[in-house]
Amino acid sequence: MATTTCQICLDSIEKEQLLSNVCGKSCSARICEQCLGRHVEVTLQQFYPGVLPRIRCPICLVPMHASRWEACVPTDTKSTLTSKYAELCGQTCAVTPPCCHKTGYTHLTVFDPDRKPSSPVMLLPSQLEIFKTLCKEFCRHKQEPRTVLNYAFGTFGEKASILLNELMLPRIQDPERRATLLLSLMYFRPNTKTNCCGHNFCFNCKRRDHHESCAEEFNDNNDLVRCRTCRVLLLKVEGCDAVQCVCGFNMNWAREITLRRDRKKGKLPVDIFDIPLTNDWLIFQSRLAVVVKKLWLHKHVVAMRPLVRPLFVVYLWRFRVRKVLTTELSAGCVARRATRRLYYC
């Protein structure tokens, strides 16, 4: 039997027993089931309640859909890993409902692909196909959740709430993808109803009934930053400004502090949790700063030119005279040496 080396444990394994295409068709991983199972187990241990767990390919380091690693881990640990994974995802959406104060309540939608909407939704087939494509790309970690929400509310209007809550969320198999979209939706539209009693409440501030805005949850003087992907609060004690959240989101700490303060003061024209739009705004802002700096320099150089010109004229004439004298003296010395040679010869 042909054997191949596992890329993690370096043991020789029969080629038929090695896992390939772990994260996709272009995946270069060649690993055994035990190594993948141990990788998932160790990854889940790194996450604490309130943070969305993201399982990455151990070789390609790209996020994986739950269905991919669930089909590859050993059978004896599959149920334990999937239960832990679902528990962590549910804890990110855990709140205390203001209606009944139920313990262990989570606002995460239950996976139910056969769920029917409470009221019929009339949609155009062309718009629905684009929405389906965005949803598939989101489930494959190729689209940000805000991109899906922006298209849904921009295209379908208020129908998007029914479309997302009653049709899309119950059909997302991966609990992490389902929780990610739900958290983005709750930040975008925090007024919702509890799953236990059906009472109105605000998901952001956890208060009863609906209201226009929520109070800021922390003071401006505190150097706290909320991750723009998983919404967890971070506090940096020491180190450089390059910070990576446990969910994998890379950020610049000083920039995030500035974004949060500018957002509170109403100086930002974009929502910082809309990551693609915020990145475009930051790129535009940096380019604008370069252009403004060039215009400022050009304006002041033109204004200072009459004052600086006399000083440069004096320096320039001295430099030119010195250069001419040096050239003439060098030529004269050479000619005189040549004359002396002829004379003595």
Three-state DSSP string of 277-335: HHHHHHHHHHHHHHHHHHHHHHHHHHHHHHHHHHHHHHHHHHHHHHHHHHHHHHHHHHH
pLDDT tens for 5-21 read 888 888 888 877 888 88
Beta-carbon contacts of 169 under 8 Å, excluding residues fewer than 6 positions away, are 109, 178, 181, 182
Report which secondary-structure segment, H or E, holds 201.
Answer: strand 200-202
Residue in this structure with the two tokens 């949850």, named with its chain if needed: 217
pLDDT at 299: 85
Percentages helix, strand, coil for the chain, rounded to the nearest 5? 50, 10, 40
193 pairs with which residues across the strands? 200
Beta-carbon contacts of 31 under 8 Å, excluding residues fewer than 6 positions away, are 6, 7, 8, 18, 19, 22, 58, 59
Q: What is the pTM of this model?
A: 0.73
Q: Residues in the chain with pLDDT < 70? A: 1, 212-222, 340-345
Give yes or no for a contact between 145 and 187, defined as CB atoms under 8 angstroms apart.
no
pLDDT at 36: 92
pLDDT at 259: 87
* Dihedral angle of Cα 130, 132, 136, 141, to the nearest 10 degrees: 60
pLDDT tens for 131-182 read 889 999 999 999 888 889 888 888 888 788 888 888 889 999 999 999 999 9
pLDDT at 218: 47
